């Protein structure tokens, strides 16, 4: 598809948006694909993204009750009204369009619900992360595979990854979408697509690293499981950083993080040497580590599994 008409737009608006913008009006898939890539469509998406990302940060410290400093206005509640979209469209930065109208909007999406569905799919598009950081990911992945100090390389990658994730407005949109995903199959699919794309980005890095370092995963562990655990750790720690900025997640001076510590612990626990395999499962390794008899319960009381 020829996208030359909007190449002046910033990434990822200048990409082919037809895979994520699916609800625009059109009699045929070809017509809808063309409309998904019009500059008007990108400009309406930009207006919505401005509202979404603006609401994902700190709420406006403008008390609705002058006598109650905690009565904060929360723009998310009135975020994506039709009037707000048109108003924000008029404030789009160059080179997006600024002269929008209800007629123009309705010519692209039949309903506001269709627009919001496409906007959320666009907001959750993995290109916001993968596309913008592919070179950095490749650089850090090379260090992970070839650097003399594997632990230091792992810490550097993990520090960058969790910090980048926590600072991404799109990740905060993802948190919002996750909270309502159960009630919306479209959002569920968008989240699933996003995680699948991220898996395709990181899994080759994991496989290359394990093979390059002479490691293999223990019985019962797969690279899909490993990627799921790494992702859960990164998102959980990033969420804690957002909720409590003073939490000891990052050490900016040494450029280390608890995420790096956790990933190294996982790598050690879930891996064995190709040259010196022990053939044990994770559970069997734990049993070997804890060889001593369990301590007696206090006062010889029977152990209650509850």
Q: In 3-state terms, what secondary structure has residue 60? A: strand
| Sign of the torsion angle spanned by Cα atoms 25, 30, 36, 39 | negative
| Both tokens assigned to 172 | 């905060």
Question: Please, are residues 5 and 39 in contact by the beta-carbon 8 Å criterion?
Answer: yes
Cα dist. 217→42, 103, 224, 281 in Å?
Answer: 44, 57, 11, 9
Give how far the C-alpha of residue 162 lies from the chain's centroid of Cα atoms, to the nearest Å: 10
Query: What is the per-residue pLDDT for 72?
Result: 46
Q: pTM for the complete prediction?
A: 0.68
Length of the chain: 306
Query: What is the per-residue pLDDT for 302?
Result: 58
Distance CA 39, CA 195 (A): 28
| Both tokens assigned to 260 | 């790096």
Distance CA 297, CA 144 (A): 45
Distance CA 304, CA 95 (A): 67
User: What is the Rg, in whole angstroms, of the alpha carbon atoms belonging to the chain?
Assistant: 24
Query: What is the per-residue pLDDT for 77?
Result: 44
| Both tokens assigned to 111 | 């309903």
Question: Please, are residues 57 and 77 in contact by the beta-carbon 8 Å criterion?
Answer: no
Query: What is the per-residue pLDDT for 63?
Result: 55
pLDDT one-digit tens code per residue, 149-176 = 999 999 999 999 999 988 888 888 888 7
Q: Give, for all 306 residues of the chain, the pLDDT tens digit.
A: 555 667 889 989 999 999 899 989 987 888 888 999 999 999 999 999 888 777 655 444 455 556 555 444 444 445 777 788 888 999 999 999 998 888 888 899 888 778 877 888 888 887 777 777 888 889 998 999 999 999 999 999 999 999 998 888 888 888 877 776 665 676 777 788 888 888 888 899 999 999 999 999 999 999 999 999 999 999 999 999 988 989 999 999 999 999 999 999 999 999 999 999 999 999 999 998 887 667 777 775 555 555
The CATH fold assigned to 126-288 is: Tetracycline Repressor; domain 2 (1.10.357)
* Per-domain boundaries in the chain: 4-123, 126-288
């Amino acid at each position: 598809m020829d996208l030359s008409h909007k190449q002046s737009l910033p990434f990822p608006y200048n990409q082919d948006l037809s895979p994520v913008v699916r609800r625009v009006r059109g009699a045929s898939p070809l017509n809808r694909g063309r409309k998904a890539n019009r500059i008007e469509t990108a400009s309406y998406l930009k207006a919505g993204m401005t509202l979404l990302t603006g609401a994902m940060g700190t709420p406006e410290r403008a008390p609705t009750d002058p006598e109650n400093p905690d009565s904060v206005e929360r723009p998310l509640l009135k975020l994506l009204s039709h009037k707000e979209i048109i108003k924000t469209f008029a404030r789009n930065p160059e080179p997006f369009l600024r002269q929008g109208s209800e007629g123009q909007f309705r010519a692209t999406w039949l309903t506001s619900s269709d627009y919001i569905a496409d906007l959320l799919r666009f907001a959750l598009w993995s290109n916001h992360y993968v596309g913008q950081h592919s070179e950095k990911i490749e650089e850090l992945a090379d260090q992970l595979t070839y650097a003399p100090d594997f632990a230091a390389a792992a810490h550097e990658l993990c520090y960058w990854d969790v910090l980048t994730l926590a600072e991404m407005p799109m990740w905060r949109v993802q948190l919002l979408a996750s909270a309502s995903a159960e009630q919306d199959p479209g959002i569920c699919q968008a989240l699933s697509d996003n995680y699948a794309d991220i898996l395709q980005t990181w899994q080759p890095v994991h496989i290359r690293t394990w093979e390059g370092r002479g490691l293999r995963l223990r019985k019962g562990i797969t690279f899909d499981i490993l990627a799921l655990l790494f992702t859960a750790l990164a998102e959980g720690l990033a969420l804690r950083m957002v909720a409590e900025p003073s939490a000891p997640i990052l050490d900016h001076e040494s450029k280390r993080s608890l995420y790096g510590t956790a990933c190294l612990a996982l790598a050690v626990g879930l891996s064995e040497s190709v040259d010196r395999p022990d053939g044990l499962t994770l559970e069997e390794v734990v049993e070997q580590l804890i060889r001593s008899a369990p301590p007696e319960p206090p006062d010889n009381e029977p152990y209650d599994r509850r």
